[in-house]
Structure 1
Amino acid sequence: MHTPRVTIAQVAAEAGVSAMTVSNVINARPGASETTRRRVLDVVERLGYTPPGTRNGRRGRTGLIGVLTLDLTGEYSLDIVRGIAEEVADDERELLVRASLDAIRERDRIAAFAGGLVDGLLLIAPVLAPETEQEVRAGELPVVVIDPRRLDVDLPRVTVDNYDGVRTGTRYLIEAGHRRIAYVRGEDDHESSELRYRGYADALRLAGLQPDPALEAASNFNHQGGLHAATRLLTAQRPTAIVAGSDLIALGALDAARTLGLSVPEDLSIVGFDDLPQSAHSTPPLTTVRQPLREMGRAGTRALMSLIARQPLATDDIRLPTELVLRATTAPPGRASEA
């Protein structure tokens, strides 16, 4: 009968310390008092904990993979981390997950990970200032970036086909009969925002329609921004459909339509981008472009494992396809909307 292995999280909980402290102690790094060190080692011995890096002859000094993300409260980051955790579990490694709130803290967190704390590092949508990127490239720590804000980042990276995803969603609305299609874009410091907008604009042009600045608005990648942007669009020359640069923006647009007394999809169709878990449970459920968040996490982890094992990657630019998921927020334009 297989006995479940003891994890570093269990040791940390039992000893009343953080996972980082446990890692420091078992790898003989400074940072813990003698009392704490003895308590951790007692728990390690009592629970029979074996660091993953020593199991089954696996390569790696610590058996730990670092994950750094700007946000751990939203489903976007959490779904990527779930994919990472699934892949790491298959390899019997463990995760140290940290959040950084800004570029300065991000740089400090990366430096801490690079100090021998982990065998490799995954960065989720990092800010990654140029000088920080240069330091990462110059260091020995294997690093893979998932969904970078800048697409010219000179590190192995995992992205999705942002352009084709939005072009497909916009073309679907055109084929359903919509002609007044608005677009709400996300933050400009994400290059994916520009790619998604280009997908929208090119879909219009290919159908013989011209993008109309009066039907375009900017937002943050959040519900509140989508609510405000969509309210402005819907109280001016109202479109029959809105394409949103993210699901949170689209869900904000859905609430804006409801507040203004519009019915979705009878009066207004809405298409999002992400396919976050809550999008399938909105009222009505959201039509959206799915970017495979969990698979992004898994693909990034597989690439990182190869780098840790000093195996060459087939490509430094892993690009995954998107998929249009049809639900209940889209329909042909109604008579009232066309009027």
Structure 2
Amino acid sequence: MARIGLSDVADAAGVSEATVSRVVNKRGVVAAETRKTVEDAMRRVGYSRGTLGNLVLLVTPGLVDPFFAVLSDRIAAALGLQGLRAVVCSAPVGGVQELEFVSAMADAGMVGAIFVSASNTLEDADPAVHRLLQARRIPFIGVNGAFEGVDAPTLSTNDVLAAELAVDHLWSLGHRRIGLIAGPIGNRPSDRRQQGFLDAIRSRGGSLDDGLVVRHEYSIEGGMTAAGRLLEQEGATAIVAASDEIALGAIRAARRLGLDVPRDVSVIGYDDTLPLEFLDPPLTTVRQPLSRLAQAIVPVLLRQIQGRPVDSGELLFDPELIIRASTAPVRVAG
């Protein structure tokens, strides 16, 4: 049986072979209607692009956390609509696996890479990853963190605004001893949440006690440990957490101390990817704009793949405060 080629697709679609080639290889500009016509013709005649020329690597620090799983899934779906195939690789931030994945996928012919809160979020990250991509002329994008000193586009949730929204809500409820549980030191998004938190407290004339900011792991256990310190040693009446998992740990710590949420302590999470409305109490949180992020990433990557100019600065997306039942007015003694 003869192999189906570009000329067969061109005949079926009623376009030139050059147009089919641009659709297949993601090069140049093709009108959306023409692209759909070519894609339909490819399916009808049984043309297969193979694996080369349409692979995109998604690097995440893990898929156990619902935030990374949901965001990766939505990015993969958006890539699929453009004929690109996502290969999701889970690698510890700063570990050697990330470089191994990137190297292997570069050899496999990937056309681009997307770093979803991976080494792009880490201070003093190994530069070998982005240097390899630059040397191979493979475009890449950072999500929620930029590679330091690297000319590559970045799309991020506005972490400074996220902290402002949380503090503003708690301040309006009368809380003045507000604690922050942020991620590990050296994690850029957490650094920015801390800065946004401090700026928000400072602008309201509040206390800037060092003890009211605790950096710990993104986990329930990290939240429990940090919240215990904030509640027992610092007398916090409200806690802003850098993730929903940390917030769940903070609620557990409060209850082990005999405190009620939200009567005695208010808690705010971050992400809104868990079914938080079904918790007890339903968790107030700052929602990251996952769908908008995922939809915006793909056009930027496509322009890079096509050799068109892109803005190498950071594009910030506004989060949204979702008020539920884990926050309440500060309890007045007596």
Say whether the fold is shared (TM-score over 0.5).
yes
Alignment of 1:240-279 (within 5 A): 240-279=237-276
Q: d(CA) in 2 for partners of 1:150 and 1:190?
A: 12
Indicate whether 1:125 and 2:117 are aligned.
yes
Q: Partner residue of 2:291?
A: 294
Say which SS state the counterpart of residue 281 (structure 2) adopts: coil
Distance, in Å, in 1 between the alignment partners of 2:321 and 2:149 is: 27
Tell me, yes or no, if structure 1 residue 93 matches structure 2 residue 90. no
1:148 partnered with 2:145: yes
- Structure 2 counterparts to residues 217-232 of structure 1, below 5 A: 217-232=214-229
For 1:179 and 1:96, the matched residues in 2 are separated by 46
Q: Is the 8 A contact 1:158 1:318 kept in 2?
A: yes
Counterparts in 2 of 1:1-339, with a 5 A limit? 50-51=47-48, 53=49, 61-101=52-92, 102-127=94-119, 128-148=125-145, 152-336=149-333
Residues 176 and 207 in structure 2, CA contact (< 8 A), matched pair in contact too: no
SS at match of 2:239: strand
Instruction: State the Cα distance separating 1:203 from its structure 2 match.
Output: 1.3
AA partner of residue 274 (structure 1): D
CA offset at residue 267 of structure 1? 0.7
Q: Secondary structure at the match of 2:134?
A: helix
Which amino acid in 2 is paired with 1:289?
Answer: V
**Cα gap change, 1:275/1:169 in structure 2, threshold over 3 Å: closer, same or farther?**
same
Q: Deviations over 1:262-297 (max 9, x none)?
A: 111111101122222243332211111111133323
Counterpart of 1:331, as a letter, is A
Which 4+ stretches in 1 moved above 4 angstroms? 149-153
Report the Cα distance in structure 1 between the residues aligned to 2:128 and 2:82, rounded to whole angstroms: 33
What 5-or-longer segments of structure 1 have no aligned partner?
1-47, 55-59
Q: How big is the shift at 1:151?
A: 5.6
The residue type paired with residue 74 of structure 1 is: D
Aligned-partner Cα distance in 2 for 1:169–1:279: 16
RMSD: 2.2
TM-score (norm 2): 0.78
How many equivalent pairs are there?
Answer: 284
The percent of aligned pairs where both chains have the same amino acid is 30
Q: Paired residue for 1:40?
A: none
Unaligned residue ranges in structure 2 (runs of 5+): 1-44, 120-124
How far is the alpha carbon of 1:61 from its aligned partner?
Answer: 4.5
Q: Separation in 1 of the partners of 2:325 and 2:331? A: 15
Counterpart CA distance in 1 for 2:47 and 2:314 is 35
Deviation at 1:314, TM superposition (A): 4.3
- AA of the residue aligned to 2:96: I
